[in-house]
Chains A and B, each alone.
Chain A
Amino acid sequence: MREFIDGNTAIVRAALDAGCTFFAGYPITPASSILMTMMRELPRVGGVAIQGEDEIASIGMCIGATLAGARAMTATSGPGISLYSENIGLAIMGEVPLVIVDVQRLGPSTGGATTVSQGDTQFVRWGTAGGFPVIALAPSTVLEAYALTARAFELAERFRCPVFLVTDKELATTLTTVDLKGYPVVALPDRATEAAGTPYRFRPGDKVSPLHEFGRGTTVRFTGSTHDEAGFITKHPPTVEALNRHLIDKIEAHRAEIEMVDADLESGADTLVLGYGITGGAVRAAVAAMRTQGRRVSGVVVQSLWPVPETAIAAAMHGIDRIVVPELNPGLYRREIERLAGGRTVVGVERLDGELIAPAQILEAAA
């Protein structure tokens, strides 16, 4: 049996299957159907969904609810991520597991309401003060939207940080045929609760402390300011350094666990086509078309935008002369590839008109 569903529907289903119990959001095309479906479905499974008075309130409520034991998600588009900015920082600093869906639309500002874009590729990584890392996953199909939503919940719990699911207007709204047997089974463990121990652990090599929830028998302190392992505000330089290093290292030291690509490598290939998100479709189609022309070509669809899957990209670059990077923005991820490319030629295919990249454009750039 198959079904005919869009990406936003798959995201909601995956969230519910992963045990999401709280959602807050504010209407914005093309993310609104996530809000509407959550408002309909969450109360049916004993959760709470609320439409905030704005995006700031929505993410704020998600953070509060998480501290009170919920597993939370919010969804918006670029203009809403702009308003989430300060609270993304709070979630990083306070180590709050939170899934943030960014259904991208063409920007800047209100931009093209509503056409497809991949313009938030760098924004999700650098969109709050301080420069500290987040995790961002980018599905390229409806099935991946389901799988990576579930993965986002796992990573958020494991590393106690905001995890972005970066999609776009076309993935969100295009109805797609999916085989019901194709969905992975999702089973997140119950959040570990510790009656004793500190709510935070900063020492190198320590496992990230499980989230301590309010109202589970012991008092819990949470703060968005620099703090010690007990959650008390401090400016003590060695403690502050340990805290900030921990916020970076907990992700950097576990890149292998987080990095994800869908690689289709061919031995002897001289050309690599590398994309992500909705443009992954054109990458796969272009690779197939070039192979029918007798060309040796590899394809990589990046699934973890952040951290950049450097190990897999380095492996895919072996023996490659020319790398083609198609994206619906002015070359935002290309700079990450250029940084890793050594002396190889990196060619961008950019599209900023609200239309999808055609496989023919990639073929032209790869010629």
Chain B
Amino acid sequence: MTVTIAAPYRNETPYPFCPGCGHGSILDKLDEALRQLDLDPAEVVIVTDIGCAGLSDQYFSTSAFHGLHGRSITYAAGIKLARPELTVIVIMGDGGTGIGGAHLINAARRNIGITVLVFNNLNFGMTGGQHSTTTPAGARTSTTPGGNLEHPLDICGTVGVNGAGYVYRGTSFDADLAVRIADAISHPGFALLDIWELCTAYFVPANKATRRSLEGTIAELGWNRGVLVERPVVDYGTAYRASAAALPPRTQPSPIPIEFVSPLTGPCSLLVAGSAGAKVRSAARLVGEAAIRSGLWVTQRDDYPVTVKTGHSISEVVMAPQPQPPVGGSIPDVAVVASEDGLRKVRGLLEKMSPESRMVTLLEFAGIVTPAILDVVDPAHSPERIPKAALALVLLTVACTRAGLVSAEALRAAAAGPFAAENLAAIEAGLAIAG
């Protein structure tokens, strides 16, 4: 029988690792797995971050990405999402499962089709033997002189319960490790191998750790070794492209024709103050579009609380025959007050209005202090019942008509869209009140 062995994926640079360190033997197994799979080295990207394990990519002749501590999974996810056909392999240490824990869980949950090899030597080997998220309870490290008080992170359990496609726990001594790595790479979904190993610089001397004690610790924790999860899943990027296939083309601009004329000769600031959730912004926008249809240049600035559906909602619509950039300190020329929430926010502005300016409001606010000409509207006297959600547009229609800002035709033309019937009813009610 002839066995064809693909060219080695290892380059000729010798490993830099300490004598007895498990990193080199895991990397040899990775090389073996890649040879079995016979992948194009240019199509394989080894993504590493920081720590001794983070040096690994330099010993391979594949493509490589060496990034920031704990973030290798995010780079790998971006690579895989952009080019699903690439084979993306993350090599990270146990340190990365702490600083990058959120990325680990979320890549597993989404089933990003990458393979993650955790070089789990139970401590930070490069920075001086500090404890990590996987350091066993009681273990001595440079930062746990009295023995580790923290419970170790169950990496496999965490990604396993959150949807990962393939999960394996073992040690760097496992005879079948190369096969498991090849299986993981071949799996379409998120695959992770938690590979326990010896850090001979720090963890071994401080804890008398051996191959046997690694296996013993796993058993004492009640955790299993071997293939723990293998489930049929679809890679996120593949699922994304499938779901995108039926989407319509991208949204195009919504042009507004200029079909009316406005009597305005200078800028006019129209302020509407009401309650959040009461269609203040959409009513202001409708007026703004009516003004654009009348050849005016319009800006609309909105202010409302982060809670969206409670409190005030204020819109300032500035319309002018020439473009007007948004600036501070403007005093309304026309104001509409539709609720107590709105009034509370704009009371100071109303006091500064000029005697030629105009304000439209409801009967209950007839006592407002303002130099402006006050138009008080009583919706109860409208021939048609006015729903609360229509009030802002009714009052704005009254204001636009009385102040001569935009015509009834322009308002009607701007009333199109999914709420055309409601909007038209409100505009007609406002026109009736305005007389």
Chain A residues near B (Cβ < 8 Å): 1-5, 13, 16, 21-22, 24, 29, 40-41, 43-46, 48, 50, 52-54, 56-57, 60-70, 72, 86-87, 90, 113-114, 140-141, 170, 173-177, 180, 214-225, 231-233, 278, 280-282, 284-285, 351, 355-361
Check A4–B64 contact: CB distance below 8 A. no
CB-nearest residue of chain B to A217: B42
CA distance A54 to B287 in the complex (A): 39
CB of B297 closer than 8 Å to a CB of A: yes
Min C-beta distance of B305 to chain A, whole Å? 9
Chain A residues within an 8 Å CB radius of B85: 215
CA distance A175 to B82 in the complex (A): 33
CA distance A175 to B253 in the complex (A): 14
Question: Per a CB cutoff under 8 Å, which of A46, A65, A215 touches B63?
Answer: A215
Check B82–A69 contact: CB distance below 8 A. yes
Check A29–B66 contact: CB distance below 8 A. no
CA distance A66 to B67 in the complex (A): 14
Interface centre among B64, B82, B240, B323 (most CB of A within 10 A): B82
Interface centre among A1, A57, A86, A284 (most CB of B within 10 A): A57
Chain A residues within an 8 Å CB radius of B254: 3-4
Within 8 A of A (CB), among B68-107: 68, 71, 74-83, 85-86, 102-103, 105-106
Chain A residues within an 8 Å CB radius of B58: 232-233
CA distance A280 to B328 in the complex (A): 12
Known interface pairs A2-B292, A86-B68; 16 further A-B residue pairs with C-beta atoms within 8 A, sorted by A's residue number? A1-B257, A2-B258, A3-B255, A41-B250, A56-B71, A57-B103, A60-B75, A64-B47, A64-B79, A69-B82, A175-B285, A223-B65, A224-B67, A357-B327, A358-B327, A358-B328
Chain A residues within an 8 Å CB radius of B66: 222-225, 233
Question: Per a CB cutoff under 8 Å, which of A29, A43, A53, A141 touches B243?
Answer: A43
CB of B41 closer than 8 Å to a CB of A: yes
Chain B residues within an 8 Å CB radius of A60: 67-68, 71, 74-75, 77-78, 103
Interface centre among A56, A214, A361 (most CB of B within 10 A): A214
Question: Per a CB cutoff under 8 Å, which of B249, B257, B306 touches A29?
Answer: B306
Chain A residues within an 8 Å CB radius of B64: 219-223, 231
Q: Chain A binding site: helix, strand, loop or mixed by DSSP?
A: mixed
Check A43–B329 contact: CB distance below 8 A. no
Question: Per a CB cutoff under 8 Å, which of A4, A44, A217, A222 touches B248?
Answer: A44
Question: Per a CB cutoff under 8 Å, which of B243, B251, B306 touches A41?
Answer: B251
Chain A residues within an 8 Å CB radius of B192: none
CA distance A175 to B291 in the complex (A): 13
Check B81–A50 contact: CB distance below 8 A. yes
Check B67–A219 contact: CB distance below 8 A. no
CA distance A5 to B256 in the complex (A): 11
Contacts known (A224-B66, A225-B66); A4 close to B285, Cβ less than 8 A: yes
Chain B residues within an 8 Å CB radius of A361: 328-329
Question: Per a CB cutoff under 8 Å, which of B106, B298, B301, B328 touches A357?
Answer: B328
Q: How many contacts A-B (CB < 8 Å)?
A: 223
Check B74–A61 contact: CB distance below 8 A. yes
CB-nearest residue of chain A to B249: A44
Check B75–A48 contact: CB distance below 8 A. no
Min C-beta distance of A211 to chain B, whole Å? 13
Check A4–B288 contact: CB distance below 8 A. yes
Question: Per a CB cutoff under 8 Å, which of A53, A219, A355 touches B102?
Answer: A53
Chain A residues within an 8 Å CB radius of B285: 4, 175
CB of B338 closer than 8 Å to a CB of A: no
Question: Per a CB cutoff under 8 Å, which of B77, B79, B326, B328 touches A67?
Answer: B79
Chain B residues within an 8 Å CB radius of A215: 42-43, 45, 63, 83, 85-86
Min C-beta distance of A219 to chain B, whole Å? 5
Q: Which 3 A-B pairs have the closest CB atoms?
A: A64-B78, A358-B329, A281-B325
CA distance A70 to B84 in the complex (A): 12
Check B327–A175 contact: CB distance below 8 A. no
Chain B residues within an 8 Å CB radius of A175: 285, 288, 298-300
Interface centre among B64, B83, B285, B327 (most CB of A within 10 A): B327
CB of B244 closer than 8 Å to a CB of A: yes
Contacts known (A29-B306, A57-B74, A215-B42); A65 close to B328, Cβ less than 8 A: no
Question: Per a CB cutoff under 8 Å, which of A22, A216, A360 touches B78?
Answer: A22
Min C-beta distance of B151 to chain A, whole Å? 23
Within 8 A of A (CB), among B256-308: 256-258, 285, 288-289, 292, 296-302, 306
Question: Per a CB cutoff under 8 Å, which of B79, B306, B330 touches A68?
Answer: B79
Check B71–A87 contact: CB distance below 8 A. yes
Of the A-B pairs whose beta carbons lie under 8 Å apart in the complex, a sample of 23, sorted by A's number, is: A1-B256, A2-B255, A43-B240, A48-B237, A50-B81, A53-B105, A61-B75, A61-B81, A62-B78, A64-B76, A68-B78, A68-B86, A114-B306, A141-B325, A174-B299, A177-B299, A219-B41, A232-B58, A233-B58, A280-B325, A355-B329, A357-B327, A358-B328
